[in-house]
C-alpha cells in the first residue's frame, strides 16, 4: 500500500513540473484523435517504446551508476519468446509477455552475478560482450529462425485481436503502449523513493561507504539489473507483435543497446523525466532526419552525423543531460 501511495505522490516536484507533466499526459491521451499522419503515429509509438527502454536502463544506469551497454539482448529475449509462443503454440501475448520477462530476468541473474564483480568501463565492455554472444547464438539457432528471423502471420487472426495483440490500425498499439508508459512512470516514481532507490544513489556516490553502512552492494546491483531487464523485455514482447517480423540484427544489435542508454543519458540519467525527455528529442529527430536526408542523393547518413553532434554538444555543456541544464538554470535563478 505504501508503494502504491508513493507511485501516485508527485508532491516533491515543483508545481510547474506537475502542470507540465499533466499537460504532456493529456496530449498523449488525445494525440491519436488529432489529424496526424500514420508516420507521426508510428513515431509516437517509437517514442513511447524508447521512453520505457530508457526508464528500465535508468534504474541501473542512472540511479545505480552502472553503464550497461547490453540491454538489446533482453529486448531479443522478450521479442523471441512472444513470437515463438504465438507462431508455434498460439499462446496469447498476455501470457507470453510475462514468460519472456521471466526468461530475461533469469538470464540477467545468470550473467549479472559475475558481471557486477567488475567496475567502470570493464563492466560496460562485459555487457557488450555478453549481448553480442547471445545475438550470435540466436543467429545460428534454427528453432528461432536463425539469422533470417521470424514473421508473425497476422493474416491468420481476426483483427482487432486484443488477446494476441494483433491489430491493423496503429491506434490500438498506441493506447496499449501508452498504458504501459503510464504504468512505467508510476513504477519509476515509487522506485526512486524506495529503499533500493536510496541505496543505489549511495552506491553511485561512494560504493565503499555504502558497503561500510551494511548495504549489500553486489545484491543491490543484481536486483536492480533484473528490474531494468524486466522493463526492456516487456517492451521487446510488444515490439514483436507490433513489427511482426523480428531478427537478431533488428532486436539484439549493439546499435539498439547504445540507443537505449542514450535516451536516459541525453535527457538526464538518474531523474524521473530524463528518459522521457531524451526519447522526446532523439526519436522524432531520428525519424524525421532519416526520412528527409534519405530522400536526397548524397545526404544519406547525414542524419547520424547531426544526431551525434546534438548528443556531443549537450554532453559537453552539461554531463547530467538536459534535465541537468534545467536544474542548473533553476539554481541560478533562485540564487540571483
Greatest alpha-carbon pair distance for the chain in Å reads 65
Query: What pLDDT, on a 0 to 100 scale, did the predictor assign at position 201?
Result: 94
pLDDT digits (tens, 9 = 90+) for 307-318: 677 777 777 777
Neighbours of 258 (CB within 10 A): 15
The whole-chain average pLDDT of the chain stands at 91
Cβ atoms of 218 and 141 closer than 8 Å: no
Query: What pLDDT, on a 0 to 100 scale, did the predictor assign at position 119?
Result: 85
For 252-260, what is the mean pLDDT?
91
Q: pLDDT band at residue 301, thresholds of 50, 70 and 90?
A: low
Query: What pLDDT, on a 0 to 100 scale, did the predictor assign at position 89?
Result: 95
Q: pLDDT band at residue 221, thresholds of 50, 70 and 90?
A: very high
Query: What pLDDT, on a 0 to 100 scale, did the predictor assign at position 328?
Result: 84
Query: What pLDDT, on a 0 to 100 scale, did the predictor assign at position 218?
Result: 94
Q: pLDDT band at residue 295, thresholds of 50, 70 and 90?
A: low
Q: Which of 197, 208, 79 lies closest to 145 in space, CA to CA? A: 79
pTM (global) more than 0.85 = yes
Residue 306 has pLDDT above 80, yes or no: no
Query: Could you give the 3-state DSSP secondary structure of residue 246?
Result: strand
For 135-145, what is the mean pLDDT?
95
* Helices assigned H by DSSP within the chain: 2-8, 15-30, 38-57, 72-89, 93-115, 120-139, 170-191, 195-205, 207-212, 217-243, 248-251, 254-267, 274-294, 302-317, 321-335
**Distance of alpha carbon 303 from alpha carbon 291, whole angstroms:** 9
Q: pLDDT band at residue 94, thresholds of 50, 70 and 90?
A: very high
Query: Could you give the 3-state DSSP secondary structure of residue 260?
Result: helix
Residue 123 has pLDDT above 80, yes or no: yes
**Distance of alpha carbon 104 from alpha carbon 71, whole angstroms:** 10
Query: What pLDDT, on a 0 to 100 scale, did the predictor assign at position 331?
Result: 78
pLDDT digits (tens, 9 = 90+) for 323-336: 888 888 887 877 76
Q: Which of 331, 173, 328 lies closest to 243 in space, CA to CA? A: 173
- Going by the DSSP 8-state scheme, the letter that residue 161 receives in this structure is B
Q: How far is CA 102 from CA 130, 224, 230, 231, 248, in A?
A: 18, 15, 8, 11, 20
Amino acid at each position: 500500500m505504501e508503494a502504491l501511495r508513493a507511485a501516485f505522490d508527485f508532491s516533491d516536484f515543483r508545481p510547474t513540473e506537475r502542470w507540465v507533466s499533466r499537460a504532456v499526459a493529456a496530449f498523449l491521451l488525445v494525440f491519436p484523435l488529432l489529424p496526424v499522419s500514420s508516420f507521426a503515429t508510428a513515431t509516437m509509438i517509437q517514442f513511447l517504446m524508447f521512453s520505457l527502454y530508457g526508464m528500465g536502463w535508468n534504474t541501473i544506469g542512472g540511479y545505480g551508476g552502472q553503464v550497461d551497454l547490453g540491454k538489446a539482448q533482453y529486448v531479443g529475449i522478450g521479442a523471441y519468446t512472444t513470437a515463438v509462443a504465438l507462431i508455434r503454440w498460439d499462446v496469447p501475448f498476455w501470457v507470453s509477455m510475462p514468460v519472456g520477462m521471466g526468461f530475461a530476468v533469469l538470464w540477467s541473474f545468470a550473467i549479472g552475478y559475475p558481471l557486477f564483480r567488475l567496475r567502470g568501463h570493464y563492466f560496460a565492455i562485459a555487457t557488450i560482450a555478453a549481448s553480442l554472444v547471445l545475438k550470435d547464438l540466436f543467429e545460428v539457432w534454427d528453432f528461432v529462425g536463425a539469422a533470417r528471423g521470424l514473421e508473425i502471420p497476422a493474416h491468420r487472426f481476426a483483427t482487432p485481436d486484443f488477446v494476441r495483440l494483433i491489430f491493423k490500425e496503429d491506434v490500438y498499439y498506441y493506447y496499449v503502449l501508452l498504458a504501459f508508459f503510464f504504468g512505467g512512470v508510476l513504477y519509476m516514481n515509487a522506485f526512486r523513493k524506495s529503499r533500493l532507490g536510496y541505496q543505489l544513489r549511495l552506491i553511485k556516490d561512494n560504493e565503499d561507504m555504502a558497503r561500510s553502512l551494511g548495504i549489500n552492494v553486489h545484491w543491490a546491483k543484481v536486483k536492480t539489473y533484473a528490474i531494468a531487464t524486466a522493463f526492456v523485455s516487456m517492451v521487446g514482447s510488444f515490439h514483436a507483435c507490433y513489427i511482426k517480423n523480428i531478427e537478431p540484427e533488428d532486436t539484439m544489435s549493439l546499435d539498439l543497446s547504445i540507443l537505449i542508454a542514450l535516451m536516459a543519458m541525453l535527457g538526464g540519467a538518474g531523474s524521473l523525466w530524463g528518459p522521457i525527455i531524451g526519447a522526446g528529442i532523439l526519436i522524432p529527430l531520428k525519424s524525421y532526419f532519416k526520412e528527409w536526408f534519405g530522400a536526397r542523393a548524397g545526404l544519406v547518413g547525414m542524419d547520424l552525423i547531426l544526431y551525434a553532434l546534438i548528443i556531443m554538444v549537450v554532453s559537453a555543456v552539461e554531463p547530467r543531460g538536459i534535465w541537468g541544464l534545467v536544474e542548473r538554470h533553476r539554481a541560478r535563478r533562485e540564487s540571483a
